[in-house]
Amino acid sequence: MSNITHKNADTSIALPVIGLTFFAIASGFLMSLIPLSLSYFGISSSLTPWLASVFYFGLLLGATCIQKVIKYFGHRRAFILFLSVVAITVVVMLLLPNPIIWLTARFVAGMAIAGVFVVVESWLLMADCPKKRVKRLGLYMVALYGGSAAGQLAISVFGTQGIQPYLVVLGLLFLATLAPLVLRSGQPVSETLQRINRKEMRYINRPAIIGCIVSGLLLGPIYGLMPLYLSQSTAFSGHTGLLMASVILGGMAVQPLASALSTRMSKSLLMAIFCLLGCIAVMGILESSSLLMMASSLLLLGASSFALYPIAITLASDTLPIEKMVAVTELMLLCYSVGSVLGPLMATVFTAADDGLVVYLGVCLLATCIYMLIKSMAAISSGQKPIVG
């Protein structure tokens, strides 16, 4: 066992989880706040899909250069740096409410948030066995989606108009930064981090890569366009915060189940099952006649959509050593970001119809379900054990 494996087996996960929780609340609130507050700042709502796409384009570019930052600063100080940059972009948006400035700020924020994700994910994946990695990543997803759900509920508490909601976001980002400032021990060893070479790229499971891309294709529009869809295109526009919270709560609630099942069955088959559930959720949204049915369908949509990324990233990391964890999380985030950049723009093709966004999500889920079923059946027919992804 390598030296880094021995040292990182005992790394503390309290610091990244605490910081991530406050960050997730701030980020979840901000993602829904931005499209709903454009009119207050005199910015056209037509900028909404571009704000979402430029953010994820920043996420994509950020995912290509994070390892060098982490190796130079270490996980803890890199975490502080990335959170501080996100806070600065919010301040700039408040001081300069201009479309070009906001697009630039969201691009920079995307790069910084890519850093936050890679820091926390690689920190938690630096465990000495796959089972522990799955449990840690499940905890990460619960903190991320639980915080995001709380952020959606903040819409009802603080509203979407004026400067106050943005000041709340800044306060939450400050609390997130306090965790790495106060807790200084337990970070992983960063000096021996290694990149993934071209030969190793061939051994990364293809369904893992597709799962991350599709996760972006789904979550990009869900975060960037769903709040506007719910507030303008449904009979439940007065409950946008509650319905968005249902999506995120579904993603949070499914994590323990996804973690448990991913060590007991084929991960590609598991992703196929969740995509099928997502298709059922889409039909429920289209046929919803009551608030309860809509909330339940969105809960199921969140569970299916948010389950894909953690399953895919653990599938990708199953055969790699700890020294490669930052590199593989960087690669998987890059795949996710490609989907997130394309997702909001692709979804606009469907927006001619009243429920175009939901139809788009259904098409993505159905196509992925078929692909994952084919891959899992091919793995079984080739003689692989069912537990192999």
Encode pLDDT of 77-128 as tens digits: 888 899 999 999 999 999 998 889 999 999 999 999 988 888 887 777 765 5
pLDDT for position 235: 76
| Percent of the chain with pLDDT strictly greater than 90 | 23
Q: What is the mean pLDDT of residues 309-325?
A: 74
- The answer to whether the beta carbons of residues 323 and 8 sit under 8 Å apart is no
* 166-170, 348-352, 372-376: segment of lowest average pLDDT: 348-352
pLDDT 10s digits, 29-45? 888 788 888 888 888 87
Please choose, from the candidates 364, 345, 354, 336, the residue with its C-alpha nearest in 3D space to the C-alpha of residue 49.
345
Whole-number pLDDT of residue 362: 94
Cα angle value 144/150/151 (rounded, 5°): 85
C-beta of residue 63 within 8 angstroms of C-beta of residue 332: no
- pLDDT band (50, 70, 90) for residue 144: confident
Residue type, 180: P
The predicted structure's pLDDT at residue 197 = 55
pLDDT of amino acid 296: 93
For 252-282, write each residue's pLDDT tens digit.
888 888 888 887 888 889 999 999 999 999 9
Average pLDDT over residues 322-341: 77
Amino acid at site 93: M
Average pLDDT score over residue span 275-296:
92
**Complete DSSP assignment for 85-143:** HHHHHHHHHHH---HHHHHHHHHHHHHHHHHHHHHHHHHHH--SSHHHHHHHHHHHHHH
Q: Report the residue count for the chain.
A: 389
What pLDDT does residue 188 have? 57
pLDDT of residue 185: 60
Range of lowest pLDDT (185-189, 220-224, 333-337, 362-366): 185-189
